[in-house]
Amino acid sequence: MDSVSLMSVQYRRGDNHVYRVIAGEHLLVALHGDSPEPLFALTATAAVLWEALATWTPASSLVGALVESFEVDPGRAEADVADFLEQLQSVGALRDREGGE
């Protein structure tokens, strides 16, 4: 996922996963049995991004959320966001659209 697509696309979490915090673990559970991975444990960073993805959001806002929440530098935050979005896409947990709609 390159920086151009990061800036021009909006993202939203898909409808095929259930998120719940149990025993301090941020769990993401895939609906339907054919998912390649039925259960994920999100890091605290990823959990912030998952919450932010409740609505259509550009990657820049996700980067901003990480910078604000964890006081990381923007370059590191942008790389983390790109990694996380790629992981979500690989398990079918992410929707995207061209920005500005």
Partner 1 sequence: MTVERPLSGAGPALPHATFRVANVVLRYEALEPDIRFMVRDVIRPFMGPETAPPDCVLACNVGSVTPSKFPISFSAPVWDLRHLPNGAEEMVFRSTEPWARLRTNIDFSQGILTFSDVRDRPSLIYPGDYPIAEYLACRLIGKRGGLHLHASAVTFGDGAYVFLGHSGAGKSTLAHLAETSGGKVLSDDRTIITVGDGGAVAWGTPWHGSLQRTSATSAPIIGLALLVQSDRDRLSEVPATVALKEIFVRLIQPRLDRGEVDNTLGAVERLLAAIPLHKFEFTQSPSAIETLRRGWRAA
Contacting positions for partner 1 (CB under 8 A): 15, 18, 20, 22-25, 27, 29-34, 38-39, 41
Q: State in angstroms the smallest separation of the CB of 70 from partner 1.
A: 21
CB of 90 to partner 1, least distance (A): 19
Nearer to partner 1, 27 or 67 (CB): 27
Distances (CA, A) of 51 to 2, 34, 46: 23, 25, 9
> Which uninterrupted H or E stretch holds 19?
strand 17-22
Q: Are strands 94-98 and 57-58 parallel, antiparallel or unpaired?
A: unpaired
CB of 53 or CB of 77, closer to partner 1: 53
Compute the least distance from the CB of residue 77 to partner 1, in Å: 26
Give the C-alpha separation, 39 to 36, whole Å. Answer: 9
